[in-house]
């Protein structure tokens, strides 16, 4: 009898809907290896039930160390879920715009480092966001391109947003666009893998906006849902369960660049934005990111 237990490597497993997904995967008998800034201070639901390896996505050397520490065991699912949204511009320890570095470059690098250790038919899941699509008209400033160099060094971008809040929002939505494009391009370059991306909907109170400060983040968590279509607002439990399903449920095997979006109580496969469907731009993003990181294309 073939075992249905999966070895799942996951970022963003210690808070928000990522934590809920990790709890569900552990409850399902799967073996989790998670990246954590402080492996010694895990949420109670995970402590003693997962292997936690130090990981700070803000430093690419740390991503390389995390990949090396994973060991030789094949990976059945790679969940690239961690995310960052800033309240003020910042630079990563490697000199890149920090949102782009954490949300895109670090996950791109992690996939490049572990792809040869992925099991046959393994799954890769990128957490994207509906904010990547201008047609969704979210309160977040939408992206205008996925040029890796200009996103890494926004001061070079002649079309850069100059208002602080809007610039931080655009950095976030652009990084999510990159996640979705990378999923589509990875599916093309690595046909043996099952690659997909997830739009979890707007999920209040996950800690994503913690850089704004506790009280502002809490207020935003209550106000933003009132500004959005009700079917685009989700919960930690709902989006977490959907993420767990994508990681392990049999029905999601064999995805090939699919973009899954939470719509009300359902998870549906839809087309991402026109920008995300630009195959030439996705290939450039991939090649430019690889050159930036010194990884093979």
Asked if 140 contacts 173 with a C-beta cutoff of 8 angstroms, the reply is yes
CA proximity to 194, closest of 269, 126, 261: 126
H or E stretch including 78? strand 75-80
What pLDDT, in 10s, does the model give residues 95-151?
A: 999 999 999 999 999 999 999 999 999 999 999 999 999 999 988 999 999 999 999
What secondary structure, in 3-state letters, does 247-277 show? Answer: HHCHHHCCCEEEEEEEECCEEEEECCCCCCC
Under 8 Å between Cβ of 282 and 295: no
Has residue 223 got a pLDDT over 70?
no
Q: What is residue 237's three-state secondary structure?
A: helix
pLDDT at residue 135 in the model: 95
Q: What is the per-residue pLDDT across 1-37, written as a single tens digit (0 to 9) for each?
A: 345 899 999 999 999 999 999 999 999 999 999 999 9
For residue 207, the model assigns a pLDDT of 58
């Amino acid at each position: 009898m073939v075992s249905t237990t999966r070895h799942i490597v996951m970022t963003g497993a210690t808070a928000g809907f990522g934590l809920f997904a990790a709890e569900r995967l552990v409850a399902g008998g799967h073996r989790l290896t998670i990246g954590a800034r402080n492996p010694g201070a895990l949420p109670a639901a995970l402590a003693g039930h997962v292997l936690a390896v130090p990981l700070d996505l803000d430093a690419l050397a740390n991503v390389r160390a995390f990949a090396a520490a994973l060991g030789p065991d094949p990976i059945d699912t790679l969940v690239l879920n961690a995310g960052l949204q800033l309240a003020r511009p910042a630079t990563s320890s490697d000199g890149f715009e920090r949102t782009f570095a954490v949300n895109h470059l670090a996950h791109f690098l992690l996939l490049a480092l572990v792809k040869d250790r992925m099991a046959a038919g393994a799954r890769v899941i990128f957490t994207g966001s509906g904010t990547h699509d201008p047609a969704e008209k979210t309160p977040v400033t939408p992206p205008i391109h996925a040029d890796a160099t200009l996103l890494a060094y926004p001061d070079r971008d002649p079309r850069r947003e100059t208002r602080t809040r809007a610039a931080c929002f655009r950095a976030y939505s652009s990084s999510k666009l990159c996640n979705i494009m990378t999923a589509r391009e990875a599916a093309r370059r690595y046909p043996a893998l099952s690659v997909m991306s997830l739009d979890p909907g707007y999920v209040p109170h996950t800690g994503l906006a913690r850089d704004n400060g506790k009280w502002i983040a809490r207020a935003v968590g209550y106000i933003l849902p009132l500004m959005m279509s009700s079917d685009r607002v989700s919960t930690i439990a709902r989006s977490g369960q959907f993420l767990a399903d994508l990681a392990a449920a049999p029905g999601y095997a064999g995805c090939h660049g699919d973009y899954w979006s939470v719509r009300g109580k359902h998870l549906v496969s839809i087309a991402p934005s026109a920008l995300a469907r630009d195959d030439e731009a996705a290939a450039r993003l991939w090649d430019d990111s690889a050159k930036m990181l010194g990884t093979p294309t």
